Structure 1
Amino acid sequence: MKSIRLEKISSAPKGKLHISGSKSISNRVLIMSELSDAEADISSFPNLSEADDTQRLIFYLNQIRSCADQQLPLIINAENAGTVMRFLASYLSVQKGSWLLTGSERMQKRPIGILVSALQGLGAHISHSDKTNYPPLHIIGGQLAGGELKMDASVSSQFITSLMMVAPYTQKGLTIRFDEKPVSFSYIEMTRKLMQNFGASVELKDTFVQVKPSEYKIKSIKIEPDWSSASYWYELASLAETSDIFLEGYTNKSVQGDSCVSEIYKELGVHTIFEPDGIRLTSSGKQTSHFIYDLTDAPDLVPAVLTSCAAKKIKASITGVEHLKHKESDRMLSLSNELKKTGAILTEKNKTYHLSFDNNMTISEKLVFETYKDHRMAMCFAPLAIVYDKITIKDKDVVEKSYPAFWDDLKKLNFVRMNS
């Protein structure tokens, strides 16, 4: 694992960045395109995500297509890609053939039993190959009957999205009922909008989703740049004395729930200017004394937001993040461990996480941040160089998962010197 050392050379980051397409949109569009009978290829989707997760999905969709109807199971390794694991679990259930879907050591500790049980209830031949509730999964693909089921929606919105995307190709269609509004509901809403854009009949409410049998009619769409990736540049702008960061291609009309980052950072000192070709981030100098927010619908913003608050010594109280323990790392634990090095204390009470500070703590002049094999940890800690002058981040290549150009883009803003 390679580390990267960052040394501040300026307190005023400035530059223009092009961020590739949303990983969430890209992976959904790829699955829907593959389910259709259209001859669409990736050239139909300009600005497709460059993330490792998306490239891995493209590779395996090509493999699956060429190995249909085989008797011996094709081994598909999702590594640490949650969307690849969860989306393919449903997709392979409707593809003729025998499949073994596995992942990294961490992935094999991330529960998937809720999705497996739901697929079995729809007629899928899917089972756990080792430990109940966890990957690997053995799947024999075929036609799904569809029907109605009830799901626990408190663990992952990706389970619901996975089922929704294959639902048009079931015999009866699909109705999923929830006991309560699902976590990360904005991602389910994104799935609905994309499905409808491709001709599917979808009705989505807080307590249910209904998809009728149909077929996707794929058309070319340009993939929006990724708002989750933009959050680290918002964080940097919030920590800088002054900033002028232009992000190409962003608009105020987005299907991504994380686009709320522009509103959130109003409270953390960032002004967003929507221009014809993108957004400009500048430091406003205005900030709240106590940040309070429900991040249920934007969980991927948590690392940048909490790290911003920690570095700016802003007390915070956030809710809606209990399910982050099931991400690439246990994110709240990872953030607690690392932000502690800056004097920040993260505690939980009654499902609310509180950020406070040890004002008597002496902060090390040689701050080293662990990343826990989690891309968002590496990216959220990098802007701290503008506050603490010199920092080291372990396992720098972990950013390949979602934002391969991250370190190059960091360099373009001319505020740090980097050494590997």
Structure 2
Amino acid sequence: MSKNALVSFKGTKNINAEIQLTGSKSECNRALIISALSKNLVKVDNLSNAADTVTLNDILNKLGVEGSDLRVDANRKTANSELVDVGPAGTAMRFLSAYLSAKNGNFLLTGTERMKQRPIGILAEALKTIGADISYAEAEGFPPLNINGPLDQKTNQVRIKGDISSQYISALLMIAPVLPQGLTLEIEGELTSRPYVDMTLDMLAEVGIEHRWNGNSITIEPQAFKPGTLVVEPDWSAASYWYSIAALAHEAEINLPALKEKSLQGDSQIKNIMKIFGIATSKTEKGISISNLGLSLDTNQILDLKTCPDLAQTIIVIAAALGKNMAFTGLETLKIKETDRIAALQNELAKIGVTLAEKNLIYTLNTDNLHFPDKITIATYEDHRMAMAFAPLALLINEVEIEDMQVVEKSYPYYWEDLKKAGFEVKEI
């Protein structure tokens, strides 16, 4: 039976803490796939303990990995499919769809019931265009997938929409070097979450994989990986919750060791976005420090989050709690995440009298009826970011009950323990 967390904060709302964050889930999952494709030429350092990363690493181990070294037996292909279950790990589902297509073997790639509701058709059809043998085991366009590899490459060019999920694009780019003809990827329309595509290409470049990016076309020729180590930086997505805490506190000085000002992670944009709420970021000898300057800038602007959609829940909850009637764009992909994050935000913000309304893809907060009850219970919808975005409201509400507290294990397993280090009280109920 799942447990809930009862979160509170007693005394003055002044926070002084140092928090060591786990490795970036986004970097780790890319590094694991790259390492497996390289057949152990590439090592991974500072592997995340996030559940999604643990899941992906375990799967690669079961497929024939020691550490991060995938050894595929060329004669392993049989008539029987090998079950590969990613559970709720969306990144693993997308990356493995491409990875397994390029490898010897018959696989049934599946996940939780919610995972079976998350579309995969655009990526699967792109892989089929290249020559992958993929079919849908249940609903058309959705997991589970029957994958028979390795693919018989029919073309080195494929088109894919840029405004759905950057993970589809990253999945294709990572297998491109091992394809006999390489791959040219034509991106149709505006590219959503470009920093994540840049991250993938930068990590490939670190281990010798070159690319050409001309206009909407990215080309990677067939080429060998060079030996090296991908060192994973702490997770900027996890850091965003500490920016939230700093914004809602009276005073805050929070040190986050090993984070880099110049990062591969798109969510490092949080340091610039949070200037709007008076939160300053400074470089230290150990990493960065964030502090509340008590100065709020003009929030009468439309904030575009298309390059960092994973920050949306955190930023929208902060704005709502501070009574800022802000507007946001770039939220299109939120509906196909762990849950429909737009609907989830609308449901939970209503509990403090706030609405989030959409018109022509612009989402606007109305905080005119904002109020803070003595206690609030937040549903998480099997979504780790809902839990972590709303828990900091304990700085404004006496008791915040977060349903299914274990959901944070997906990306930030030590979240509740770290809250305690900063002075929060967290009780399991």
Category of TM-score, reference length = shorter chain:
over 0.9
Matched-pair contact (CA < 8 Å) for 1:12–1:243 = yes
Amino acid of the structure 1 residue aligned with 2:4: S
Matched-pair contact (CA < 8 Å) for 1:238–1:268 = yes
Amino acid of the structure 1 residue aligned with 2:38: S
Matched-pair contact (CA < 8 Å) for 2:3–2:428 = no
Matched-pair contact (CA < 8 Å) for 2:31–2:230 = no
Partner of 1:220: 229
Amino acid of the structure 2 residue aligned with 1:110: R
Q: CA deviation at 1:343?
A: 1.6
Q: For 2:172, what is the secondary structure of its paired residue?
A: helix
Q: CA deviation at 1:15?
A: 1.0
Partner of 2:169: 160
**Of 3, 11, 14, the match for 1:12:** 14
- C-alpha separation in 1, matches of 2:31 and 2:426: 38
Q: CA deviation at 1:83?
A: 0.8
Matched-pair contact (CA < 8 Å) for 1:267–1:291 = no
Amino acid of the structure 1 residue aligned with 2:37: L
- CA deviations 1:264-308 (Å, max 9, x no partner) are 001012111111211111111111343531111000100110010
Partner of 1:104: 112
Q: For 1:290, what is the secondary structure of its paired residue?
A: coil
Taking the TM superposition and a 5 Å limit, the aligned residue runs for 1:366-405 are: 366-405=375-414
Q: CA deviation at 1:178?
A: 1.7
Amino acid of the structure 1 residue aligned with 2:9: K
Partner of 1:232: 241
Taking the TM superposition and a 5 Å limit, the aligned residue runs for 1:260-339 are: 260-288=269-297, 289-339=299-349
Q: CA deviation at 1:364?
A: 3.0
Provide the aligned length of Structure 1 versus Structure 2. 416
- C-alpha separation in 2, matches of 1:259 and 1:144: 39
- C-alpha separation in 1, matches of 2:137 and 2:380: 30
Tell me whether 1:148 sits opposite 2:157 in the alignment: yes
Partner of 2:198: 189
Please give the TM-score of this superposition, normalised by the length of structure 2: 0.94
Q: CA deviation at 1:416?
A: 3.3
Matched-pair contact (CA < 8 Å) for 1:13–1:242 = yes
Give structure 1 stretches of 5+ with no counterpart.
none
Amino acid of the structure 2 residue aligned with 1:93: S
Matched-pair contact (CA < 8 Å) for 2:97–2:109 = yes
Q: CA deviation at 1:144?
A: 4.4
Q: CA deviation at 1:157?
A: 0.6
Q: For 1:201, what is the secondary structure of its paired residue?
A: coil
Partner of 1:250: 259
Name which of structure 1's ranges 60-69 and 103-112 shifts more when overlaid on structure 2. Answer: 60-69
Matched-pair contact (CA < 8 Å) for 2:19–2:255 = yes
**Of 349, 361, 386, the match for 2:359:** 349
- CA deviations 1:46-67 (Å, max 9, x no partner) are 2211100000001100111278
Tell me whether 1:90 sits opposite 2:85 in the alignment: no
Tell me whether 1:364 sits opposite 2:373 in the alignment: yes
Matched-pair contact (CA < 8 Å) for 2:21–2:234 = yes
Please give the TM-score of this superposition, normalised by the length of structure 1: 0.96
- CA deviations 1:92-133 (Å, max 9, x no partner) are 011101100001111100110111111111111111111110
**Of 29, 32, 52, the match for 1:30:** 32
Matched-pair contact (CA < 8 Å) for 1:17–1:247 = yes
Amino acid of the structure 2 residue aligned with 1:4: A
Taking structure 1 as reference, are residues 55 and 411 closer, same or farther at Cα in structure 2, changes over 3 Å only? same
Name which of structure 1's ranges 197-206 and 85-94 shifts more when overlaid on structure 2. Answer: 197-206
Amino acid of the structure 2 residue aligned with 1:233: W
Taking structure 1 as reference, are residues 266 and 144 closer, same or farther at Cα in structure 2, changes over 3 Å only? farther
Name which of structure 1's ranges 56-65 and 141-150 shifts more when overlaid on structure 2. Answer: 141-150
Taking structure 1 as reference, are residues 32 and 374 closer, same or farther at Cα in structure 2, changes over 3 Å only? same
Matched-pair contact (CA < 8 Å) for 1:175–1:208 = yes
Partner of 1:62: 61
Partner of 2:417: 408
Taking structure 1 as reference, are residues 291 and 85 closer, same or farther at Cα in structure 2, changes over 3 Å only? same
Matched-pair contact (CA < 8 Å) for 1:192–1:204 = no
- C-alpha separation in 1, matches of 2:288 and 2:39: 37
Taking structure 1 as reference, are residues 399 and 154 closer, same or farther at Cα in structure 2, changes over 3 Å only? same
- C-alpha separation in 2, matches of 1:398 and 1:171: 41
Give structure 2 stretches of 5+ with no counterpart.
66-71
Partner of 2:69: none
The CA RMSD measured in Å over matched residues stands at: 1.5
Q: For 2:311, what is the secondary structure of its paired residue?
A: helix
Amino acid of the structure 2 residue aligned with 1:189: D
Q: CA deviation at 1:24?
A: 0.6
